[in-house]
């Protein structure tokens, strides 16, 4: 029996300037899913993340989130430059007033997972862009997220770093079994990352298609360059083009 963790029920969002960011969006995300929200800019996919995390409230409809353990990764690493890597990762533990002991355990674990234990004494300006994003991942992991929201997280990085970090996120997902929602405008990235791709159209932002991804936990080059991968990508592309025409 699938258990929903996030439900968008007839959600609409109109900004004060009159822009309709979302119109009648119905999405149910079950625990254990990895959802890619795919669409052109202005389709309201990031707004859905902001609604799910409580950063914003919709102007119509209901958003229900069945957990308080949420991880949020922004497009930029958004690290505090005066803090060391370790203190940056500890930020949420600090804001939650966790004990020193608990904080240490969680921060050690998170740093280990992203492979930055050696760099815990560094400041953000001493790290590469990819490393900074990994610090940002580790910071979110400290929340022990049941729901992990990624807002085009690696868009500013070069292709190689981006693919490596995507694999890191996939491995994390397989290991920690959170529910993932990943915003992207890249079709191959959406197919590679997700268990289900939700395609959105712009003006107004709405859901225009849904595709189950037939691949399992093991994803690598053989999946990325398989004919099923290419076919699904082509189908999704067709759906997007149909909406834009």
Partner 1 sequence: MTAGVGTPVPRRPRTGRRSLTVILPIAFALVFIALWYVTSAFLLSPSRQFILPMPHEVLIDAFLTPKNLFALLGPLWTSTVIAMVGLAIATAIGVVTAVLMSQAKWVEITLFPYAVALQSIPILAIVPLIAFAIGYGFESRILVVVLISLFPIITNTLFGLQSTSPQMRELFTLKRASRWTVLTKLQFPAALPALFTGLRISAGMAVVGSIVADFFFRKGDSGIGLVIDTYRNQLNGEMLYGAIILASLLGLVAFWVFGLLGRLFVGSWYRPDGR
> What is the CB neighbour count within 10 angstroms for residue 50?
18
H or E element, residue 18? none
Q: Would you say 142 or 233 has its CB closer to partner 1?
A: 142
3-state class (DSSP) for residue 143: coil
Q: Would you say 123 or 224 has its CB closer to partner 1?
A: 123
Options 20, 91, 202, 223; binder of partner 1; rule CB under 8 A: 91
Q: Is 7 in the site for partner 1 (CB under 8 A)?
A: no
By CB under 8 A, the count of residues binding partner 1 is: 20
In whole angstroms, the minimum distance from the beta carbon of 110 to partner 1 comes to: 15
Q: Is 125 in the site for partner 1 (CB under 8 A)?
A: yes
Among residues 57, 58, 52, the alpha carbon closest in space to that of 28 is found at 52
Q: Is 55 in the site for partner 1 (CB under 8 A)?
A: yes
Options 9, 66, 76, 235; binder of partner 1; rule CB under 8 A: 76
Options 1, 3, 17, 82; binder of partner 1; rule CB under 8 A: 82
In whole angstroms, the minimum distance from the beta carbon of 178 to partner 1 comes to: 16
DSSP string covering 53-107, please? HTSS--SEEEEEE--S-EEEE-SS----TTS-HHHHHTHHHHHTT--HHHHHHHH
Torsion, Cα of 198, 202, 203, 204 (10° steps) = 10
* 8 Å CB contact between 14 and 161: no
Q: Is 98 in the site for partner 1 (CB under 8 A)?
A: no
Identify the DSSP state of 149: E
Residues that bind partner 1 in the complex, under the rule CB under 8 A: 53-55, 70, 72, 74, 76, 78, 80-83, 91-92, 94-96, 123-125
């Amino acid at each position: 029996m699938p258990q929903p963790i996030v439900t968008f029920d007839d959600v609409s969002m109109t900004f004060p300037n009159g822009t309709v960011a979302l119109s009648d969006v119905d999405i149910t995300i079950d625990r254990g899913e990895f959802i890619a929200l795919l669409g052109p800019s202005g389709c309201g996919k990031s707004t859905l993340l902001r609604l799910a995390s409580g950063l914003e409230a919709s102007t119509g409809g209901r958003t229900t989130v069945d957990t308080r353990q949420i991880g949020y990764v922004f497009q930029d690493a958004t690290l505090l430059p005066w803090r060391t890597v370790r203190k940056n990762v500890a930020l949420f533990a600090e804001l939650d007033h966790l004990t020193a002991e608990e904080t240490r355990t969680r921060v050690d674990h998170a740093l280990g997972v992203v492979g930055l234990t050696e760099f815990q004494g560094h400041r953000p300006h001493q790290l590469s862009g990819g490393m900074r994003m990994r610090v940002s991942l580790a910071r979110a992991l400290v929340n022990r997220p049941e729901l992990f929201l990624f807002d085009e997280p690696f868009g500013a990085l070069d292709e190689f770093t981006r693919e490596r970090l995507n694999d890191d996120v996939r491995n994390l997902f397989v290991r920690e079994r959170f529910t993932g929602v990943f915003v992207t405008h890249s079709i191959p990235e959406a197919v590679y990352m997700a268990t289900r791709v939700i395609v959105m159209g712009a003006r107004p932002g709405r859901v225009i298609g849904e595709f189950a991804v037939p691949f399992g936990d093991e994803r690598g080059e053989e999946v990325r360059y398989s004919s099923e991968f290419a076919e699904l990508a082509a189908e999704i592309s067709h759906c997007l083009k149909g909406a834009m025409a």
